């Protein structure tokens, strides 16, 4: 091989090696673009999930005890609410405008119904309704301590066609429709509760 050919081959080989290194080294701009793209896609997915599918929840306080406990974390079902509607005794997430926060409560009264409580008995349109979701041992314990009814009496109250009466399961310690008044459907975000943390307290509340 002539000196000229050898020199030409060296130049070509050097050129190929430089191009190969360039191809192997990712561009900083490409990395930044990929990162931004991943973040945007993640934000869109989270937005779609939390707008149309599930609502993350964190229990704050004891108003739903012992059904739900303080600091429990999980999610509620937006899609189930939109498809199945709201039934009596569903556990729902409701937005409370007066406090600008979301609370977990239970549906007691439905639109158009007349509700009241007398001597710890729920009446709907004048008929007694059993609240079988209560932990009766806890109810009895609280009643013995407060020396009174678990649910304070209140007179008949008629809901409008778009109103729901919501209450916490821990009646003596719950701020609910007895304080805020009935809630409209537009304030109710999701229903059911799927508790996933703490891990030793995992359970689902589906009516």
- Among 41-45, 163-167, 184-188, the range scoring the smallest mean pLDDT is 41-45
Distance of CA 152 to CAs 53, 146, 149, Å?
Answer: 36, 11, 6
Distance of CA 127 to CAs 45, 130, 178, Å?
Answer: 46, 10, 20
Write the pLDDT tens digit of every residue in 99-138: 999 999 999 999 999 999 999 999 999 999 999 999 999 9
- Rounded average pLDDT over 41-62: 78
CATH code for the structural domain at 59-205? 2.10.109.10
Per residue in 11-49, is it b (16+ CB within 10 Å) or e — as a string?
A: eeeeeeeeeeeeeeeeeeeeeeeeeeeeeeeeeeeeeee
Predicted local distance difference test score (pLDDT) of residue 104: 97
The whole model's pTM is what? Answer: 0.79
Nearest Cα to 82, choosing from 205, 183, 190, 186?
Answer: 190
CA atoms of 54 and 60, how far apart (whole Å): 18
CA atoms of 137 and 159, how far apart (whole Å): 31
**Domain spans, the chain:** 3-49, 59-205
CA atoms of 145 and 186, how far apart (whole Å): 38
Q: Who contacts 175 (Cβ-Cβ below 8 Å, separation ≥6)?
A: 63, 103, 168
- Residues classed as catalytic: 63, 105
């Amino acid at each position: 091989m002539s000196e000229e050919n050898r020199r030409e081959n060296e130049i070509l080989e050097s050129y190929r090696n430089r191009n190969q290194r360039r191809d192997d080294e990712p561009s900083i701009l490409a990395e930044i673009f990929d990162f931004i793209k991943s973040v945007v896609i993640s934000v869109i997915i989270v937005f779609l999930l939390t707008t149309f599918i599930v609502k993350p929840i964190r229990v704050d306080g004891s108003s739903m005890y012992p059904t739900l406990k303080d600091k429990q974390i999980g999610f509620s079902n937006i899609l189930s609410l939109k498809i199945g509607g709201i039934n009596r005794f569903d556990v729902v997430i409701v937005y409370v405008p007066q406090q600008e926060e979301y609370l977990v409560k239970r549906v007691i009264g439905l639109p158009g119904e007349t509700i009241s409580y007398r001597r710890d008995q729920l009446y709907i349109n004048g008929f007694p309704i059993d609240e079988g979701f209560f932990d009766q041992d806890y109810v009895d314990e609280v009643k013995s301590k407060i020396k009174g009814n678990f649910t304070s009496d209140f007179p008949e109250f008629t809901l409008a066609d778009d109103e729901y009466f919501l209450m916490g399961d821990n009646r003596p310690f719950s701020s609910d429709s007895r304080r805020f008044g009935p809630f409209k459907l537009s304030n109710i975000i999701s229903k059911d509760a799927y508790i996933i943390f703490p891990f030793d307290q995992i359970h689902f509340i589906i009516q």
